[in-house]
Structure 1
Amino acid sequence: MISIFVRSVQLLLSISILVVIHELGHFIFAQIFKVRVEKFFLFFDPWFSLFKKKIGDTIYGIGWLPLGGYVKISGMMKNENNVSSKEKNKKDWDFCSKSAIKRLLIISGGIISNILLSIFIFSCLLFKHGETFLPNKNVKYGIEVDSLGERIGLKNGDKILFINNKRIPYFNDVPKAIIFGNTVTVDRMGKIIKLSINNNKKKFLFDRKEISFFIKPRIPPIINYIEKNSAAEKYGLKSNDEILAINSEFILFSDQLKDLLSKYGNENITISINRNGKFLQKEIFLNPKGILGISLKNFMDLDRIFSFKKMNYSFLESILHGSMKSLDVLKNQISFFKNVFHIETKAYKQIGSFFSMAKEFPSKWNWDIFWTLTATLSIWLAFLNLFPIPSLDGGYILFILIEMITKKKVNEEIIERSTVFGFIIISLIMILIIIWDMFKVFI
């Protein structure tokens, strides 16, 4: 329950930041061009609001329905029943009285601010922490794959040479390149093999209940920590022990250890280890499941084996690389969106609502992960709002662009009716996604 609460709070805070920044973008441009903003709300407020206060011409408030937020700009929707005759004659604060380019900037303000927020967050994280890369050429033992990796044709020990006939400089980028790629060229024990990653294979990657690393660098089996009350603790294994053999079978890599342990359930085994240069052997009785009770080191912990590349950035460099990171996130989202329309990939199963989003946040509060996910969601929000669907920012942008091209305003009645229709369609889609997500999570 605590983990659910922590995830929910992180999600709510992240959404609140994204909504406020998005609406603030509209608000700032409206203020610059002297357009009146009647309301500025975090979350929607049908029937009632949790809080509201009027300052100047604008009512600021918090709604009770956390599905977004809005700013109500005077003149966007022609409903002047509550406007006095004196105000009707005053047009300089009206949205429709402004030039097309000014209206375009006001509508685009939310998208612009979300893009800038993403760049700002990524830049701050890069300035603070820098980046650590594992060059693909330094993955000296090849890769280790799980069952998903095997199903798309990869094997333990494969060395990734090309993806879509291009070299991938850093291993960090290999998994996503495979997901969105079409071919993978590997060196398999000296033999060059080209694997096709078609839509039927991609469905194994997209149709996952949990996100996992289907490939990682192959590493020696070095113990990270010992679980309490386990066979490993009982028989004296220690952290940093390197496992060399079980009985008479030599072990070079962690995937080989996992395969061997599963063979010796409910049996006595002789385990050979290297402890700080000393050769030791331990007699251990395994439980029926063949569980030793150890956690092995991750490749990120083995800098004495792998040569990592650490990049630290100056203030200006962090802005440049933060912008590039935001662009990479956008490219990944576009690639994913393309796969959604290929039914055989089953990428549509990864579409989710707030329930799926909450699962992405860690069960223990971590500010770095929180800000990384918020920056990613910010670009996602900007991308979605670019869709030329009435009631989204992209719909208004489309009407204004038509006006700028034809030099003639689109009929206001058409805009209003299409906006209402677009709102109904989007609401129905959101309801269907929430129902689908509840089905995935709870059923």
Structure 2
Amino acid sequence: MDTLIQIAQIIFILSVLVILHEFGHYLPAKLFKVRVEKFYLFMDAWFSLFKKKIGDTEWGIGWLPIGGYVKLSGMMDESMDKEQMKQPAQPWEFRSKPAWQRLIIMLGGITVNILLAWIIYTTLYSTYGQKYVSTAKIQEKGLAFGESGLNAGFKNGDKIVSVDGKTQEKFNRLIIDVLLGNDVEIERNGEKEILHISDEQKSKILGSEGRDFIKPRIATVFVDSILPNSIASKAGLKKGDQIVKIDSIKFNYFDELTDLLKENSRKQVSLTVLRANKEVNLNTTISKDGKIGFFPTTKDKNDFLITNKLSLIQAIPAAINESYTQFTYNIKQFKLILRPKTEAYKQVMSPIGITQKLPTTWDWEFIWGFTAMFSIGLAFMNLLPIPGLDGGHAIFTIAEMITGKTLSDKAAERVQTFGMIILLSLMALTFGKDIYQIIAKNFL
């Protein structure tokens, strides 16, 4: 059932984004009297799930949920309709229209994606409020770091002051800033210093804990759950116990406990726990990897949540600013992907991979927020000057407007073929990676 909910969410999100993106092309095409031969949600390679001809346009739903398209008469697009391009140009065809009209049609989908994000953010901010996890609140007692973060030079208890000289009040965005930035200013034991995060260190972070390499520091160690047949279970540890000492050594934070467990691996120790306000001593032997098999109670991120109630008038500029910020983060992430040493390209996900990351409960606030974020990502991706994408078509149209020269049909065909090979190869790689990871996780 959980998987079905995740699948339903990604299909809903993709459907909203694809339909509105394609309408961004469809509406100006009709305005400029260009014949639209097809309008498809999802791809209909070999067959479609549904189709109906209304006027000049075939409306349909494909079986492959990786996008959608509108097919315009007289345009060399992913349909690769060479025969039509060999015929004399007709007044209702895309190629017969002035360059400025063709440019508007090409950029229509991107424009709608940006407007959609702005509208969604405006609606969310004026109803649910503008929400974010506070950096100041979450690191009041400092931060705890995963192994990759510790190897990069962080220490448990550090506070992050700024990244590349810029402060960040939103914690989720602060984590991204660290991965996208270079120099991190930290406060350690009351003193400030700079850590330089190399591409190799970013690669290790992205390949292991990812965004979870930074967490709030847990000040008290309460047992939330115990693994069956674990050392903790056999020692008599119970849910709700508060671990306060190992042998005679006291500690204040969970990361200090984990350090002590690693130092005493393979050794017999006495755990002192508070149970119903009484101290109980439990004797046990620590495993070779320094673990005993329990999960602590952690603070929920909602404990650090800030909610700003905004009126509609306040929400509009806030939504525009958020849309712009999301777009700039897409640019930064793309730059990171292009730096091979970070191996960030390995983290690129297909819709299959994204589905695995979605929550297992239906939450409209999350779904619309994710749709807005995804919409900005789709706008950025389509703006890239890659043949086969809207940005590729637009760049050649702009060049035509500047030089007054157009590509020959043969050159346009070659460029489109090259672009499709690139896009299909990237899709095959990302889908293949995500499918392999699912198989490896569940069956290998």
- Cα distance in structure 2, aligned partners of 1:366 and 1:233: 39
| Aligned residue number for residue 179 of structure 2 | 179
Deviation at 1:287, TM superposition (A): 7.5
Following the alignment from structure 2 to structure 1, what is the Cα–Cα distance between the partners of residues 84 and 303? Answer: 69
Q: Secondary structure at the match of 1:45?
A: strand
Distance 2:179 2:170 in 1: 16
Task: Tell me if the contact between 1:245 and 1:272 (Cα under 8 Å) persists in the aligned partners.
Answer: no
| Matches for 1:1-80 after TM superposition, within 5 Å | 2-77=1-76
Residues 238 and 45 (structure 1), Cα distance of their counterparts in 2 relative to 1, 3 Å cut: closer
Q: Deviations over 1:273-319 (max 9, x none)?
A: 7x7xxx5323345575564745313163656xxxx643111123223
* Contact 1:361–1:369 (8 Å) recurs in 2: no
Deviation readout 1:130-165 (Å, 9 max, x if unpaired):
214424377332211111210111001112223213
How far apart are residue 37 of structure 1 and its match?
1.0
Question: Residue 47 of structure 2 aligns to a residue in which SS?
Answer: coil
User: Does structure 2 conserve the Cα–Cα contact (< 8 Å) formed by 1:117 and 1:375?
Assistant: yes
Give the distance between the partners of 2:169 and 2:134, measured in 1 at CA: 9
Pairs within 5 Å for 1:24-423: 24-77=23-76, 91=91, 93-130=92-129, 131-136=131-136, 139-208=139-208, 211-221=210-220, 223=222, 225=224, 244-260=244-260, 263=264, 268-272=270-274, 280-284=278-282, 291=292, 293-298=294-299, 300=301, 302=303, 309-423=306-420
Q: Following the alignment from structure 2 to structure 1, what is the Cα–Cα distance between the partners of residues 110 and 124? A: 22
Give 1:4 deviation, angstroms. Answer: 3.5
Q: Find the aligned partners of 1:89 and 1:328 in 2 and give their Cα distance.
A: 43
Report the residue type matching 2:66 in the other structure.
L
**What is the identity, as a one-letter code, of the residue corresponding to 1:271?**
V
Tell me how far apart the structure 1 counterparts of residues 82 and 143 of structure 2 sit (CA, whole Å).
Answer: 66
Give the deviation of 1:232 after TM superposition: 8.5
TM-score, with structure 1 as normaliser: 0.84
Letter in 2 for 1:337: F
Deviation digits for residues 232-260 of structure 1, max 9, x if unmatched?
A: 99979675x76554553322222223334
1:370-415: CA deviation from partner (whole Å, max 9, x where unpaired): 3333322222221111122222111210121012112343334422
SS in 1 for 2:387: coil
By how many angstroms is 1:42 displaced? Answer: 1.2
Inter-partner Cα distance in structure 2 for 1:153 and 1:32: 58
What number of residue pairs does the alignment pair up? 428
Letter in 2 for 1:158: D
Output the amino acid matched with 2:299.
Answer: N
CA contact (8 A) 2:142 2:216 kept: yes
Task: Look up the equivalent residue of 2:353 and give its one-letter code.
Answer: S
Quote the Cα distance in structure 1 between the aligned partners of 2:124 and 2:325. 16
Provide the residue aligned with 2:432 in structure 1.
Answer: 435
Whether the 8 Å contact between 2:226 and 2:238 is mirrored in structure 1 is: no
Query: Structure 2 vs 1, CA of residues 280 and 260 (structure 1 numbering), >3 Å: closer, same or farther?
Result: farther
> CA distance change for structure 1 residues 60 and 186 in 2, over 3 Å: closer, same or farther?
same
Q: Is the CA contact 2:99–2:401 (under 8 Å) kept in the aligned structure 1?
A: yes
Q: Deviations over 1:67-126 (max 9, x none)?
A: 22111112224969689x9xx8962x3323322222111111111112222223333333
Shift of 1:53: 0.7
Q: Which amino acid aligns with 2:423?
A: I
CA distance in 1, matches of 2:438, 2:418: 30
Separation in 1, partners of 2:162, 2:252: 26
Rounded Cα–Cα distance in structure 1 between residues aligned with 2:66 and 2:132: 36
What's the offset of the Cα at 1:333? 2.1
The 1:224/1:379 distance shift into structure 2, 3 A limit, reads: farther
Change (3 A) 1:246 1:287: closer
**Is the contact made by 2:21 and 2:110 (CA closer than 8 Å) also made in structure 1?**
yes
SS in 2 for 1:63: strand
1:157-179 CA-to-partner distances (Å, cap 9, x unmatched) read: 11222321333344443211111
Please give the secondary structure, in 2, of the residue aligned with 1:375.
helix
Which amino acid in structure 2 is aligned with residue 429 of structure 1? Answer: L
Residues 242 and 302 (structure 1 numbering): CA distance in 2 closer, same or farther, change over 3 Å? farther
Amino acid at match of 1:75: G
Conservation of the 8 A alpha-carbon contact between 2:235 and 2:284: no
Q: 1:361 to 1:412 in 2, by over 3 A?
A: same
Tell me how large the CA RMSD over aligned residues is: 3.3
In structure 1, the gaps of 5 or more residues are: none
Q: Which amino acid aligns with 1:144?
A: A
Provide the rounded CA distance (Å) in 2 between the counterparts of 1:49 and 1:160.
52
Could you list the runs of 5+ residues in structure 2 that have no partner in the other structure? none
SS of 1:46's equivalent in the other structure is strand
Give, in angstroms, the shift of residue 269 of structure 1.
Answer: 2.6
Contact residue 223 and residue 242 of structure 2 kept, 8 A? no
TM-score, scaled to structure 2: 0.84
Give the Cα–Cα distance (whole angstroms) in 2 for the partners of residues 162 and 69 of structure 1: 41
Quote the Cα distance in structure 2 between the aligned partners of 1:299 and 1:366.
17
Tell me which moved more, 378-387 or 356-365. 356-365
